[in-house]
Structure 1
Amino acid sequence: MKVRDVMIRGGLTLKESNTFYEASQLFINNQVEVIPILDEKEILISLLTKNDIIDNYMKGTKPDINIKYLSHSKKNIIDEDSKIDNYVNDKESYMAVKNAQGKFVGIFSVNNMLRKGITNESEKINELKKKLNCTYECSQGRLNCTELDAVIESSFDGIYITDGKANTLKINKSYEKITGLQRKDMINRNMYELEKEGYISKSATLMVLKNRKTNTIEQEFSTGKKVLVSSNPIFDDKGNISMVVTNVRDITELYELQEELAKNMKLTEKYYSEIEAMRIQYLNLSDIIAKDKTMLDLLEVAKRVANVDTTVLILGETGVGKEEIAKFIYQNSMRRSKNFIKINCGAIPQNLIESELFGYVKGAFTGANKEGKMGLFEVADGGTVFLDEIGELPLDIQVKLLNVLQEGEVERVGSVKPIKIDVRVLAATNRNLEDMTKDKSFRADLYYRLNVVPLIVPPLRERREDIIPLIQHFLSQLNKKYNFDKTFTIEAVNTLYNYNWPGNVRELKNIVERVIVMSSSDKIFENDLPIKNLANIIKKNSTSDDICNLKEAVGKVEANLISKAFDSAGNVRDAAKMLGIDASTFVRKRKRYLEQDVL
């Protein structure tokens, strides 16, 4: 007779990708002893037992680890065409059965084989006697085996043995320790009574006596302990159940871990929902595209700051979107119905900047309007002024700006009469104003007056979760603008995602527009991208056919890198960071190459 003739067909299965938590749930929710593990092609590779689950739990295995990393057995896998004689004396109670293609088809159980009368039970018991070297007797509900008693008593698992009528015969000390119950209160008592009196929540032994097969259940005791119990029937020569042996494992801590995991999952969902709500709430009020948590946290702070009239200094590299943050603050402020005046301090000629900002009276200077002119601060009265590139403001104008911030008034050029105004000032720069105060190129009192609430906009390389949404946003805009239907390939998107973006969002937008306009097909490939990084510069400078002095060649590459980094970053600190050197080293080397007229 072959294995396929007596095996239990089909059953629960697990994949290698399933987690320890999922496997545990499957064992807890189903009365099974073993579950086969399949690979991605449905090939049977190993067998996971309830003891594997418990052992891994005791080792502190994390709930989210894949079961392919757990310790489990591969030896108890047999072929369906094997003869059952090969497994009569096998120590494995359960074996997974595979077909000729290696796929799982069922479970082979020695106990199941015994129930069907396929082997001689008395021969099996005699063989067991030899192995244990002891005399096995079961008479009038009593066990007599010194060595077997010692084995049972020393077991780490709790063991509970009843006869075929559910009368308690033996309990070991581990059972007492795990459950908190005393054996003196349970020996010789029937499981029906113990269940009825509430010692246990439900009895696996009674289930075995009813359905004549192994049962695994969760059990709770009057002491509050929760355990996983597995009850197995032992049959006599006539096929009647002579005893039921129950193994007990404490899973109280497993339940606590499960509850903690469930709480953490709920918290994760809660946090995700909050972040998504923040994103929707904030982004509906501005043109900002943000998905990265770093950027969403910044927007949350900006939203709080928007509700008060305090001065805000927005810092960050060139192209990160400082102006968008300023607009976001304005749109969420009480002044959103009033003017928003943007002033680029670096774009106005120095000889005109005072009159542009503060205005002038008639006849103030040659060429002036005969009626005089209102300055931008007066135009913005009641609203918001955004001073972009504040670091470019000349020192003499800084004095007047300080007066606006402190006194809330301006003086037109050629006038001695101050004009009261009510404006909120937002300022932005990619320069280090603190360093500028040290070299006297920026007034310290103005810096401290501006730096009431500093907001640092992170560079695009530090908020990579925003890159793909920004690409999609710019792509959608440009497709609509030019009536295109162009898309990026996965390779192209991946290249854009991994690029360092020294020019930040501005550079990203320019590159997306360039490739959309220049590409000849509707698919934009990786080769279409005009991205050049520092590695390209080194390669370009080091592939010359001419042989020259090594020191000179290295100097040329270094000078080129310093020049490119400074042009991209716009300031010493960020340029040095791009090259992975100290700012002082960058300044020293750049100065030397400038003196050598190499840069």
Structure 2
Amino acid sequence: MKVREVMTKSDFTLKKNNTFYEASKLFSNNEVEIIPILDKDEKLIGVVTKNDIIKNFIKGISPDTYVKHILCGKINIINQDSKVMDYMNATERYMAVENAEGKFVGIYSTKDIFKQHFVNAKEKISELKKRIDCFYECDEVKLNCIELDAIIEASFDGIYITDGKANTLRINKSYENITGLQRKNMINRNMYELEKEGYISKSSTLMVLKTRKSNTIEQEFNTGKKVLVSSNPIFDEKGNLNMVVTNVRDITELYELEEQLAKNMKLTEKYYSEIEVMRIQYLNLSDIIAKDKIMINLLEVAKRVANVETTVLILGETGVGKEEIAKYIHKNSKRKDKNFIRINCGAIPKNLIESELFGYVKGAFTGANKQGKMGLFEVADGGTIFLDEIGELPLDTQVKLLSVLEEGEVARIGAVTPIKIDIRVLAATNRDLEEMTKDKTFRADLYYRLNVVPLIVPPLRERRGDIVPLVQYFLSKLNKKYSFEKTFTIEALNTLYNYNFPGNVRELKNIVERVVVMSSNDKIFKNDLSIKSSFNFTRVNINGEDICNLKEAVEKLEAKLINNAFNNAGNVRDAAKMLGINSSTFFRKRKRYLEKYMF
């Protein structure tokens, strides 16, 4: 059998000057295990496998590296006229196939061998049935023909033949070799007796005699051989079941190969699950839009900090862009060509966070991956790890994180020896960690270790110079994505400029996307926004010189005080403390006034 008979076609190819990023994207978007590399003359010069992509990604290879620098060479290339048997024990599970001219013609996979073996087995059985039919005569089958004996004995597969009453008529040498059973102990004996005496655990022949239909089962013999047993009935002209021919194929090596393939697939899946969350962050770091002087000053500080290896704690409300600041620091650091790993500490279940961050060894706990697992700190080795929502980290995990920061090493769950790692840690939170240390919900030693250089990202309402540039940036991206030509009117931009954006940049982005998608005209007007400018409070004379509705005046004054306290404090807890009320009361009142006055 030639390779050309079992290979499959493939439409996916790369040129040697394609980049590592382009190769990664091709693997990510398509279910392929190997991609051939062609030169300018369309000749096959090498291949890249999915494992090559994973290994080089973990090494931190630059996305712009040409694939010609990482290809496997000729080791994974075979000729279409080669024999399949020459590659039965090949370590490479996928190979590229070339023709005599050196051009790519297809992909060879060991999976194709399975399919072809079963087809060959079926063809042999069919051929044998035809041979037996030739010797059928007067209700008896003549098995003493020299030609028939030669065919049966020469068969690579084991052959077992019984009559219509399950009496053993013929067994070949291959059957003895595969099963370890001797035919002298089985010839002329009934299959019912042989099964009862334990020669075989279950008989495919008896199943055929019962159902009168072909049957295939898998069996394992004392020799350790795993076999595929296929039994087929032979009927005479009157429809009587006259004979059962059983073909026994040794699939031990194929079974072991399948197990190895399954292990490799699990290993690949493990690495893929660990790095898929990082792929977009690593290859598509976004830019920061900053026009306001406050934000520009912050970026100048961040750029200075980026050049050193110190730990940075990024603080700010939800949606202000803390992650973008972390990416900005990484892009301007000496580690910019290495991994940038973002971990949302609040999104990982508490019972899984330790194993996700630090990994575990083989058999560390019930339900653990049999191969063990690499933690995200190890994956980030050499690069930057960004711990978002650090305030949500459980106390027991905080202890282990402090050890990582202090010692520069990580210990997998169940491991005895720690692993040295070289990482830079950036952390972010919208919570008051200092207050949490007083409440003993956050370790003070970890807080002081993280808070080496604090960067406070101001809310959008305090850097209004960024609002219009951000609007134009989001609008430009949406126009390009949907082929729109939409613009905001001056009144609409003024409305956005005067809005306080409690959700900050994230809220602004959502508002722009919503109004661009929903508006029916190319011009977006103030009324399309469904928001109001910040509430302008009516001045209230506390000395009582003016006459007004007392309840309304008190309510407006209270709303103004709550709004000002929150703007100054930046969080509910401190704002409530400033006004001398508890946090729950502050939250309830602020929510009611937000809905009523839109401040």
TM-score, L = length of structure 1: 0.45
TM-score, L = length of structure 2: 0.45
